[in-house]
Amino acid sequence: MLKIIITMPLAILALVVISGDGLARSNVRHELEPIVTIGDQELVCHRPKDLVVLPDQRIAVLNQGSCDVVCFTPDWEEQMRFGRCGEGPGELSGASGMDFRSNEYFVFRNLRVDRFDIKGEFLGTYAMSKGGLFQPIWWQGQFVGRSSVDVGTVSAWDPETEEVRVIGQDWGMCWVTLWSGNRILIADMITGKLRVVEADWSLGDQWNLDVVPGEISSENYAKYYKPTLGGVWWDSDIGLLVAVRSDIESEERPVLRWYSGDGRDDFDLLLFPHDLIPSQLVIGAGKRLFVLSSDESLIYEFRLPKFGG
């Protein structure tokens, strides 16, 4: 039975916590409590690995634990599921990522990509060298993500040629998002770096995780983040969100650091529950924020507040 918990969002507030040395350790402007929590009963959501919002706003979730894809209506009513455990065609053991393009699902596994139509019918398999992709995005006609085999490598896979291009390697655990100017942004959660990949595939600027493009510099605020959490998402109307942990009142708490589009403003969004461990961020229409917590086998939905005001 699908477990859905409905709660009301907390009121917006402003909070600045000052450490003993007088530096602001967190600039919390909003607290967010989930309005919907999707649980693990009956394997509806079992170790969710990837989430994709379809063009009609339906929600598709790749479950690594149950080796399947579950499709929901925008109101979280289960519509269908496809896939099963195993190593054969259309079987999804060890799947690491998924995307939806041209009315087809592309599900990434080690050394192969399985294709399914919009009804979940298996269409065929692509070969893929150098492992699969983790939570891939679509950029420049290719799927881009970190390697499911080597977490320090970010690669692109071309479905037309089935070739793999290595963008960077020997990095830390990375998450990839689109970025302004037809670029992508790679957030390295181990080394605390933000790296830009230019439209010509060259590596551009990079910053520490607490420094973004624009006029923000490390002198503006303390370097207090421990970049151990997962997830990054950029939206042209919203800005950049990066999931990290912050020390708030001497307690490690999950927060989203928000950066404006030009990097001139930033603040925190404190997430509840306090032990939430994000593994992916996705923003849908209407400022719906989906946060996967694979370790907990839970998906949280939040409603984002107004930004920049």
Q: Residue 186, exposed/middle/buried by CB under 10 A (0-12, 13-18, 19+)?
A: buried
**Residues 6 or more apart in contact with residue 140 via CB below 8 angstroms:** 156, 182, 199, 201
Number of helices (H), then strands (E), belonging to the chain: the values are: 0, 27
Collapsing DSSP to helix, strand or coil, 189 comes out as coil
Residue 145 lies in a domain: yes
Residue 309 lies in a domain: no
Residue 108 lies in a domain: yes
Phi first, then psi: give them for residue 308, nearest 5 degrees: 75, 5
Contact 256, 243 (CB under 8 A): yes
Domain extent, residue 51, equals: 4-303
Residue 196 lies in a domain: yes
Q: Among 256, 235, 242, 238, which Cα is nearest to 212's?
A: 242
Six token digits for residue 39:
């649980």
Pick from 33-47, 84-98, 201-215, 232-246: least confident: 201-215
Q: What is the percent of the chain where pLDDT is above 70?
A: 80
CATH number at residue 283: 2.120.10.30
Residue 45 lies in a domain: yes
Sign of CA dihedral 285, 105, 38, 277: negative
Mean pLDDT computed over every residue of the chain: 80
Residue 308 lies in a domain: no
Three-state secondary structure of 97-125: EEEEECCEEEEEECCEEEEEECCCCEEEE
Residue 167 lies in a domain: yes
User: Residue 41 pLDDT more than 50?
Assistant: yes
pLDDT digits (tens, 9 = 90+) for 242-293: 887 766 666 777 888 887 765 566 788 888 888 888 889 999 999 999 999 8
Residues constituting the chain: 309
Contact 230, 175 (CB under 8 A): yes
Going by pLDDT thresholds of 50, 70 and 90, the confidence category of residue 21 is very low
C-alpha distance from residue 79 to each of 73, 246, 298 (Å): 7, 38, 19
Please state the domain count of the chain: 1
Contact 29, 308 (CB under 8 A): no
User: Residue 218 pLDDT more than 90?
Assistant: no
pLDDT digits (tens, 9 = 90+) for 170-205: 887 889 999 988 999 998 877 778 889 999 999 998
pLDDT digits (tens, 9 = 90+) for 111-134: 899 999 999 999 999 988 777 899
Residue 233 lies in a domain: yes
